[in-house]
Structure 1
């Protein structure tokens, strides 16, 4: 299961950018397989709109509210960055049954700022076949959300069930 795919298949699925057309099953995956999302431009109004609805803290609502805080100026909610990341992952990692997190871990090494162009770089780092369900494995994916300067704004690791073709 680990790492045994044809060169043609590797060319087809490595470093995929933007929306993906074909759906992937367990037998299509290998450790080291990479995906690159499209770019999402994030402006101040998107940050404020998300914050008003879901995370109404002063540093997510205005520059003035962020003054005197650890952020200093307007910063996106980490959950907003995560929501954008999820959308970009869904569009760029075409798992047939979807991206279903069994366990996840997320960190935000830098704040996401207005004017950022967000892009997600993801990779399968482990594939663990299920002992009790031969048609399934738990796949670990690590994703970095970066800005236009390549700065890592978020690191997201997920363990997900992935299934073989029916």
Structure 2
């Protein structure tokens, strides 16, 4: 049963969050058309667009893009927590996201959150950091997605150290995919799991963010003031109107899918067999490192980081790819370790 937590008159600050308390929030349904519309815009894979193609896939039916699920979760957080008084200052990223079950049309979704750690930032004592676990559930009560996430909140009374729970661990430093030894681009005719090599580089193209698209995405999925209003953006930590982090992530998956589909066309033209890819079990180390403002042009690049054999699916392996985006000033603004199931030429034998 959802526990009703009274909102303080000045909003929910770091001091008000109780480590270990479970709070339920949100209720939203997702239609077939919602799924297809998002997929057309950001993740145009057959399992998200075409019912017959989806039936032949591993998931067995038309289902939402994982990043659509994330955008929906963000909307539920905005409506169920942020509008209820959380003094949100944004999020630096997601440590891990797991997509446990497909999100099918007409499912009714709810959310659940528990704080595992909280502390004020040493560099900015007026800003608090929460470590939180978000769960998305369907109407049957099945958990279909989990985030291990980070959330920034205001500190009501900066000064004395505010800290509770956890070990205060910091994420490891990022390794730039633009620096260090550079592998060759993948051979398009060698696209099965066994063929892929650590260090392969993928040039994923560029995208320029406009004010109108930033606001449109935010209105639908992340209606926080600094994504909607220029004046609110100027007064925020970001210093100006900026894109939702989930907007940046959606553009990344669009660029990645477009790259993959281009490779598949080249393979077919060469008369070589095409390996089947997907779905994804989730991602790790998603970092929003700098704001993305109107007019910013992001260039995306990926690099094969790891290959994981699967005893549970001997016909597939997991490919992990580190992807980043940097802006026109050369600053890395986005990082993610993506994961995807890739077909093997021969079944894995432990």
Report Cα offsets for 1:23-75 as digits up to 9, x if no partner.
Answer: 83213311111101121111111101111111111100121121321112101
User: Quick one: which of 122, 126, 151 aligns to 2:331?
Assistant: 151
Q: Which residue of 2 aligns with 1:39?
A: 206
Query: Could you tell me which residue of structure 2 aligns to residue 113 of structure 1?
Result: 293
Using the alignment, how far apart are the partners of 2:339 and 2:241 within structure 1?
A: 32
* Residue equivalent to 1:140: 320
Q: Which residue of 2 aligns with 1:65?
A: 232
- Structure 1 residue 158: Cα displacement: 1.9
Q: Which runs of 5+ in 1 are unaligned?
A: 1-9, 15-20
Q: CA deviation at 1:143?
A: 0.4
Q: Of the two, which has the highest radius of gyration?
A: 2
Instruction: Choose which of 260, 263, 281 in structure 2 pairs with 1:102.
Output: 281
Instruction: Note the residue ranges of structure 2 that are not aligned, 5 or more in a row.
Output: 1-182, 265-274
Tell me the TM-score normalised to structure 1 length. 0.80
- Structure 1 residues 132 and 52 mapped into 2: Cα distance closer, same or farther (>3 Å)? closer
Higher relative contact order (CA 8 A, sep 6+): 1
Query: CA 1:28 to 1:88, structure 2 compared with 1: closer, same or farther past 3 Å?
Result: same
Q: Give the root-mean-square deviation of aligned CA atoms.
A: 2.3
Q: Secondary structure at the match of 1:30?
A: coil
Which one of 308, 318, 321 corresponds to residue 128 of structure 1? 308
Distance 1:46 1:134, change over 3 A: same
Q: TM-score, normalised by structure 2?
A: 0.40
Q: Compared with structure 1, are the counterparts of its residues 142 and 99 closer, same or farther at alpha carbon in structure 2 (3 Å cutoff)?
A: farther
